[in-house]
Structure 1
């Protein structure tokens, strides 16, 4: 089972990482009367005054939820909360991440946010332009009103006022005024359908037309301009100047840089008779009830789900409120010191989604007292600049949406690290676990500038464990609770660690195939916060049921084959006892047949010929058939699941096609993990007739042979793609070898070549001895621990030796970087 990370660990260690007021939650939360256990998977600072938290919830029926939320300190002087309307106009749409990236400039970084407004998903304006992506209701960004709500709407709006305070309420834009001389009318709408007996404003951000042809002949329109840089915003007095003749068309054009005023009913008299150069004054009044408000950033939600800390009965407020869906919610604390933006995934096996009351419950858990539900489903997206999109969107990719709400860092660009934090915020650590932590680096403003900070050194109390790998890795040999400390250029960080005997330990491989040359250090691992963590095999006591077949180092856990046969090996530490099945298979030579052909055990098929007969020949088969003249799609296929002996490095076909035209030779095979490699071609060139060709598949081209777990391999087919065979003519194809190829010396693995093509040998290598790395020209060689820390590195030119001094026994990753790219291989140190 997954290990919960309790806040008490942090508190006992002096709150090494702050987490707001225990997030009101702890280990359980009740959502709509159903109790869920809560497991914190991730909690980290992602920018100034802002953390991101990821939770895994599960109830007693096994129903799961994945919850992601951003918590922002609204008192932080370096941040502001700002909305973006996609494309900076009413229609269009864009992904949340692209909105943030496109609006980030020097000194203004939109570093995290979520989607907001519901939007139109189809349709065109009367001028033919698409209206897809337009917010359905009111939307304000950067102080500019992109769209007012409909006159009849009572949907709640969440907004930031001119004092930077968060608010929720049903906002009205219908109480402003428009004045021409002594005449005055009510300003009722902005970039929305024009209400009767009032004037509406249509801006350059709209559809290019008021889009109301039904009002033709029943309205007065007039094109106007504003002073450059001015815009329509709450509480503003606007000075328009008429720039064209009045008209009566509700779908007139809005020319570039111009606005259109449209009057209906009794308000038509105010605009009638205006001439070019005349001035029109407008006051934009926005209210909640009788109170004037001044939103600078606004999105429309529905329903209002959390009010004064109480979960509202909201599930009758919209049709889908009572159904389980992915959802996005935005809320804030009563004292206006905390903003919470939340996404809960849905429509998947690992997250069922929520209805609106459950969303409200989670927002309260995270510290909000007031909250609304905004657009959800496939639109639900949470983005941070340093970490990307955090949730798993139900579409499988980011959806283009109408708008987003973002936290903005208003600080100078600065890449200097002034603060260091562990990526993990606290840890229940399995005894004997090996942990190479990752670190985040922040500048003096709190901006996350390095998500993989190198050069950090660890230290800890000896009662907790040891520090190995040149200060980069913690080895949990002790027990109890303590602090794992990190230092970088005089900057310190602390991680609360509780080292306990773990009941979630397992061998990575339960079934192992090995020969008498290759050695395999047993891989032991534990799961912590859904992350797999290696356990040092040296910590276990090892035994083999039959040392005559396979031995295992009692103190180092290195498995070695002795003779053909099967046995089991056992590892014990504390209360954990693990066993693995071992099959020792020693090749009898460098080449062995893949399988013996026996009639009736194979399924043989053909197109492009008749009378197919297959019989055994040496290490392969003989194929006889009669041509029928068909060339298009012609093939011969032999099919059987053939388990390949031991640990081959190549497959080989020796073939003489006789007079037949063979255009391609391929096989399909499956590794021990069940991955299928279909139609893997030995060659795609036509074979020379009446000549023996030797063709090989280099298994490392597609398989990571450093992972012994890929064995055993199963070859499923041998397929020949043919050309036309003359009708009525007899053909004979000789395949004396369908074989597995092993390393010289009967199965030794002197050098293991990875799928990406770098050769490293000897492999395994004894700790402290040099390992040879083959590179193409000048190269940078880095040896990484499985936890991701650099354990050794060197600059080489061509083939050169790299020292393993200081490396402990275990598995490592070798990365070779040249001008041609990056190659990797696994390295075993014993």
Structure 2
């Protein structure tokens, strides 16, 4: 009895007559094709909010944080009636994972399923290809298969047209019976009855492997792949093996060996080995035989997998595991009417993959009453034709970078009628980029509209476009496209009216005017003049909210050697027009610009010459072996890897590890290496870390050759530089292949682009940091000090003295609260932390309440428990109350340079989510201030001082942005760590980086590299900005006043100026002999007599603190007064 839904069924037996093809005509006719329907936006969950329509930022009822996962982002989109696609990304205990879920409601009568393949059992094709011309709207990969050999599935498959393949025995399988689904054990068997009446069990039907003494039967469904694979390998078939051809139950040929199947129409081939060969070989031409293959249940379709993951609503026992990999699973709820198909990406930084046991827990949490594991790893594939489009696309990310050809698939079909004729409408941006549902004030967004048929496919139909309110205007408002222009910030939309009540609205949020512009690729390398590359521009308003910029808003200036053309609404395409050289491309929108450097051609740079080969070491997984020195094809040094891949059937690997990771200079497009092959079919890969910390592999071809051959390892486009090589790897992924091997390598070379002149960028001076003014009058003031880095063994040193001076300034300023934002000490010994406690007791005591947030130096040489024993929990929350409301202060522990790499793992992120939810509903909370030592993004060019998990940084930024967008409450982040003072904004969230209080700054003095501290001024009454905030609302809630240490202050002003003349002043301060410009991010207070600081008034001079411009207005004398951190100087000017 199958577990799950109780169904009365009878066994099904197939008497093998002329076989029906597994791949037949479509169950339903495909929808009308429309070549110019824009594709759906990416299913990747990123850059929220705005990457997908707000109505689709939901989970379809799934809870992706049911087991303590953190920073989960989810979107759900319809595919067809009864079929939805949910995409998610979340932080799990083992790392980040990203997955996609197809949810099928089998009570929807127009929804159907079937098993399909490439057109033959012994063959492979990508799922997208298996779906072609079938009318399918979605699909997932199916059973495990004989990879790198016959390609045939190893289990059971039955489509609606008949059994395709079986293997004798019981397998966990997905089954469909009368519109209800079951997942559970399915048994197949078969019998060959010979002329003497003897019944001989069959090992399988169209099975890729015959066991010892086995007999198999093969039909025309098998295809033309040699049957040698079933008993050995091509050209290497052990004896005895016998075969017989049967047509209409009559033996027509008998012979030895396997070979080409040569199955005649309506016939079968019997193949036997060992004792089975004796049975088959004894048959004679003209004899009658009976061949039967059967399943234990009468099912409409069946597809087997490997482990049973969930049984009776509980995680199954005895699940086998083979580590972290991409996964595919399928399950069914208790009623048998809801099918849950899941893929999880694997073996990337963005998605580490899952163990089978964790996969079982996930399927159970998604509501599966029964579930099984299907083929995973590089085979994991999910394809869907998103509602409103016409073409199925891959919606997961392949583990190997491209969609793998697989043996079979499980497809979903919709027969909803009418198809090809509109019954409703759709309206959405033409751009597929994240953030396309936003538009900057004054810029444009192209919107597409069409009909949608009953199966949710796009159906061509023109209509009329209108804006939902005055925040947008619409031009070219008829046909299937219109252009919307942002006019005023806030929510709006574009409605497409196809007539007869068929309307749809694309929600568009109008952001503020363009404040700064960014390009996604500052450098684009090409090997030569062949090829092209996309470039995408993103504009940001003054709140740091991103929005894609379309080509219609951009002016392009390109140096000779490249051609730049618009690429629809998404961006531009750059094509080289020279074989070698460099060119600079500038993209300009109004007064804002961004640049891309194009590098064409290649130079060779040696990565590893292996002269140090004796210091390379061996490493392996599920294998043994050695790494020794040898010589290359021209006598140069090399490495020899001898390995034993006979110890396991799981993925095995043999690796050569350098004494230290090797950094590759420049912009490599590919690496090459000489490889002396052994013909084994092992897979050569080079393990690298990219510039953003992502660990991946550069892949070469399977080693099918013998002798020396130069192998190329392409570098994927868009890889962050520099690359660092950590291993040379040889892997075996075939479960049925075991061997010992011997390969050698020599001369690892990088093929790099020529050096360019580099790009220039426009500085962004965010107003969260005051240039002229003070926060002294704000109702809530929070002082921030960080990065002293003193040590107990130097208690009277310069660093500690500087920290004491800063603390005294802070106490004198009488803030409401003090945040010590990490790295107060340099080392984490008990003596260092005791000295920190002593200093705080002596300088602050109870005069100002304070919190100490740990940085990476609070665990330098010691555990976090040393810190906690003195200063309490490493992450905290409290409400800071002031007139106008409360500000929730959340402190986080980034001592491991991540938020989830600490002793409590991701728990503080789980706590953060709870704290944000509490802040959202608490009427006394008007804003949230997050204090953590390491910033999400380093403002310096080298990006050396930021959260090392870049996905974590992006997801946290997105989460805080969603908090502000969804609650209308303000949020800001304050950090240290970098060694400079800085301010920025991201998705409406202000980010303040506090500089050093003791340690020597890391940046230049004119870019925030000075010692000091920061005072945050908060007005809680201005914290609630609503759902349509204006740029500047965030600074009305919080601004930062930096307090540099000042030894002296210099203000040089000409003694006289002629009326109408303009000069630029360059005031400076000096600290410890370093001259610091008094300009952003130095906060100053400007005053004086006879001086105007705006466009109004009848003063003698006007001064603009942001630009330093002093303008002489009328005759007279004026005195300009400058104050920085309590130090004041003045200068007098006479206008004639």
**Of Structure 1 and Structure 2, which has the larger fraction of its residues in strand?**
1
Q: What's the TM-score, normalizing by structure 1? A: 0.50
The higher-RCO structure (CA 8 Å, 6+ apart) is 1
